Homo-oligomer: A and B are copies of this chain.
Amino acid sequence: MPAQPRSLTHDDAASAPRRGRPGYDRETLLAVCVEVFNRHGYDATSMGTLSSHLGISKSAIYHHVASKEEILEQALNRALDSLEEVFDRVQATDSRAVNKLEMIIQGSVRVLVDQMPYVTLLLRLRGNSPVELKALERRRQLTRMVENLVREAQEEGDVRTDISGKSAPRLMLGMVNSIVDWYQPDRSGTVDQLSDTAVKMIFAGLRAM
């Protein structure tokens, strides 16, 4: 891999001819960059790769962001903010733990579908930099919340106790997270059907009664 062009400062960028006419708003630029990260991997994507996919010069990119890592950070924040919003909303309700878990599954499925490229990026992180490690720590907090809710639901008698309280939350989240790998809005049914199938499978199981 070529070195990241971190040595190129804002001042350098300012002297480039296309500065001020980047041809993209920040939103579209972010979306395109995240697509490229997901296709080639964040580590394998250089600012040069982004530049050729965007069809604008590196300087034009530096009009919007200081570095490749800043793009990553913004994209990860988008995914994590949305997920945390779901968890906070659910935790603020006065429900039994098992119902909170159901609401978290439903809300997470929706975020995964709505923010698919951003969540995909989050889920594929390897933790190779401080930005990635920070995002992974925020993700871990959400996992811990689910672990605690499973334990609480077991104590309240709503969730079976003959399963591993360590594996069950991970398997549950793993099932939901897999959505970014295969869901196609036009072929896999609506988000509501998807969310309904996930909740039924996790809480009631596939076996016909």
Contacts and interface: CB of A to CB of B under 8 A. Distances in A.
Interface residues of A, number: 56
A179 B170 CA distance: 8
A129 interface: no
Contacts of A128: 39-40
A204 interface: yes
B201 A1 contact: no
A206 interface: yes
A46 B44 CA distance: 10
Interface stretch (A17-25, A53-61, A75-83, A181-189): A181-189
A178 B170 contact: yes
Contacts of A205: 200-205
Contact of A177 (B41, B178, B193, B197): B178
Nearest to A174: B178
Interface of A: 1-2, 39-44, 46, 98, 124, 126, 128, 150, 153, 157-164, 166-168, 170-175, 177-179, 181-183, 187-189, 193-194, 196-198, 200-209
